[in-house]
Structure 1
């Protein structure tokens, strides 16, 4: 059957290889990607311990995540252009240095404010690393092999998701939360050496920098996140709504500026003429929203209601990570031959169902084996989402737009993540106030997070479970959007060739 979108599908861009050992270069790049993902999952496991050690509240610990995501999201577009202008390899290496140095600062922080500041610098390093990885994959692998390459990328994500929580739990239980950041130092140094030896230098493309676009997007996004996250803290005062409204207005001004600027825009809106690129951005934004926002209520439930140690709570996520790691390379190869919507929409729907299922199971009386079942579905769904969406988004982009395209895609993902962390965190605090009126999250002396008293466990569990439903609802929007993906150019067989 012929896809109705076939007549309007653009021809595949011309490809010229930049290295004769692309797989070795990909593995070197995956070290930096691995470090970023491990750091995010390690921090999720240790959040209750950090909260107690630094005498922080729930909102403070949410800002530890949001500050990182915010400074990760805002510079991504600019970082993609830096890679295009000066070369993705040197920008990637600078990002590794910044991220590794900031990790040391995180470990040495003596207050929640210092940790938030250090995490913000970490986010800047991550922003420099991420778009260079995807841009180099686009330059090193032809379109028909990018699905397999992204499958390796997805496997690394699965392994990082597995190792991060386990390593975080072991380090936190054995040495203290500081070591979840110190562990980045040897990984960062190894990444720098491998990048110097294996990652190729590629042709650059000069760019003018759109400083007005940078300013509008940075201030607008910051206002949005601050308003959403601090709304509950200030009882949704009128000025909070003004801040949120200003953020929305500035983002609309950003889009208008990008569409009408006479110079070179920060976001080339022509990228969105590619339907798959546009819809993949919608899908990854919903996934980022759900995943980043759901980690805090999941870990709080397992440790404060279930009474688990960081290591035991991390073990609950092992099935998800194992299934993602096993499934990602398989799905990557399948994606090169099948319609992308068959894979991506199924994955997004599966993750939405898993989150809703987990929310229903959040009860003090639920046995651990039953809590594991949604994680199996999450793992299978992730294998169908992360790498397939990235491959689908970038297949049709010319190399000159690779940095900008990967920057836009990753910005969309992280913007979804930062808004998701703020929105689900705000919902979590709202539901806690409703379920446990007049009672905050109890902390206990002695340097170890303890299980909450039995009278408050039920209300706390309900609040955590209800927080997950927002992520599930947003994922349904991504599912609907990705149903409209079309086949990539390399899957169309010319009529003459098919007749032979």
Structure 2
């Protein structure tokens, strides 16, 4: 391993991390356009269908920070491979499920593997690349992650129409089986600075995240004032507060609280939460708008989202390279502002008589904005900590991203249900506009939080001759 050229190791790391992250991110919403087929095949109830999506997202979001700690302790490459094994095995179990209960359980196990893969992908790429090339690499990685989330409904619809829904999961198996030996043979192992696993932190953050995510997932179904939701939310918040207290006292914290003294880390994680909250609302409702209001099938609806989703593939790598030249803040503020403009434009334009052509330009604007923001925010967070602590920063960032997605869908659904519904085309558009308005507002908040990310200082250079970022003397503009 050590005799191989550094550039070769970097290319393999980026390629394998990108493929694995794309696969796990795709499964976040891939079943959304196949739910009706699954309902008919398995005689599933609406609540059971909801859990085929939420079981994955719940275990995924809850275990992201824990995955970073496990990777730091036992090896990021090793645990990345373990995550792929778990994800592939659970994917096969999903495809072989004969009833909806088995499918839900398999989806939850899938989320465990996905948490390891997603967190450690960012950590491995960040560790493999020097600081002056890290932004471009993360741009490629995050562009593909964003594209996978947005393409989920298209891929699920295409497979459900062209084959059968089981192939949504079967496709993961050969990809994973090829990737696992390559990960073990081609990537460099790396560890975090701690030699012990922070078990107290693992228990507290897992319990806290589980309680908060459970409340967000169940709030619109069980009622926000129900005992179930209130107990879960209060218990989750108490556990998270206890986690902060514990991490300040333990000698080997899984998430050092000193990270939050960095404006780049704190503002970056706030921005990524709001970015993905906005993005998930848009993905969740736009696919339905194209089907329910404009009458397209699942595959056609996914194809008509391409002006939006394709920007994530083409623009994010370019934005990642620009991060290395001009810094994160200009791209973050501009990108999230563009996403807000595009989504607000769609919200205002959407009506039963609206043509698809009227939506193309605002979709491109929103997609270009998201493409600019995602690599910038990831680079800001992982660049704010020491090299040895990249895994912890990546885990915190990944958890904020997934919690943002869960929060976004919960908030969007609540607003949609209050303003409209599924009773008619008019009722759907009555709720769709306000829901997209919430997505636009979250993007605006993200842009405002990005103003606290430090600018790139032109007055000093690092060892590689690249401009460094200035934390303490720059005020937000």
Say yes or no: TM over 0.5: yes
- Structure 2: segments with no counterpart, 5+ residues: 467-477
CA 138–456 in structure 1, closer or farther in 2 if over 3 Å, else same: closer
Encode CA deviations 1:438-457: one digit per residue, 9 max, x unaligned: xxx5xxxxxxxxxxxxx711
Matches of 1:204 and 1:266, distance apart in 2 = 10
Q: Name the structure 2 match of 1:32.
A: 20
2-side partners of 1:485 and 1:464: how far apart? Answer: 32
CA contact (8 A) 1:62 1:421 kept: no
TM-fit CA distance, 1:375: 1.7
When normalised by structure 2's length, the TM-score is 0.88
Q: In structure 1, what is the equivalent of residue 235 of structure 2?
A: 246
1:258 corresponds to 2:232:
no
1:53 to partner: Cα distance:
4.2
390-399 vs 416-425, which moves further? 416-425
Tell me the secondary structure at the aligned position of residue 40 of structure 1.
Answer: coil
Task: Note if 1:354 corresponds to 2:342.
Answer: yes
Whole-Å separation in 1 of the counterparts to 2:352 and 2:106: 35
User: Whole-Å Cα distance in 2 between the matches of residues 366 and 337 of structure 1?
Assistant: 41
Tell me which stretches of 4 or more aligned residues in structure 1 moved more than 6 Å: none
Shift of 1:406: 0.9
> 1:213–1:258: 8 Å Cα contact kept in structure 2?
yes
Unaligned runs of 5+ residues in structure 1 are 1-16, 442-454
SS at match of 1:337: helix
Q: State the match for 1:479 in structure 2.
A: 447
Deviations 1:41-93 (A, max 9, x none): 43333344434544445554443333222211222112112211221111111
Paired residues in the alignment total 459
Q: Secondary structure at the match of 1:306?
A: coil
Shift of 1:277: 1.4
Q: Which has the higher contact order (CA 8 A, sep 6+)?
A: 1
Superposed CA deviations along residues 375-402 of structure 1, whole A, max 9, x for unmatched, are 2112201221111211121123222211
Query: Which residue is 2:166 aligned to?
Result: 178
- CA deviations over 1:301-326 (Å, ceiling 9, x no partner): 22233221111010122112222211
Q: CA RMSD in A?
A: 2.7
Match for 2:267 among 269, 279, 290?
Answer: 279
1:224-261 Cα offsets, whole Å, 9 max, x none, are 233333334334445233432333233222222222x2
Q: How has the CA–CA distance of structure 1 residues 236 and 156 changed in structure 2, closer, same or farther, with 3 Å as cutoff?
A: closer
TM-score normalised to structure 1 length: 0.84
In 1, the alpha carbon distance for the partners of 2:361 and 2:125 equals 34
Q: What is residue 448 of structure 1 aligned with on the other side?
A: none
Question: Structure 2: how far apart are the matches of 1:232 and 1:412?
Answer: 21
Matched, 1:270 2:258: yes
Choose which of 392, 396, 406 in structure 1 pairs with 2:384: 396
* Higher mean C-alpha displacement, 455-464 vs 151-160: 151-160
Query: 3-state DSSP class of the match of 1:336?
Result: helix
Classify the secondary structure of the residue corresponding to 1:492: strand
Cα contact 2:22–2:148 (8 A) shared by 1? yes
Counterpart secondary structure, 2:351: coil
Matched, 1:127 2:112: no
Equivalent residue for 2:434? 466
User: Structure 1 residues 489 and 367 mapped into 2: Cα distance closer, same or farther (>3 Å)?
Assistant: same
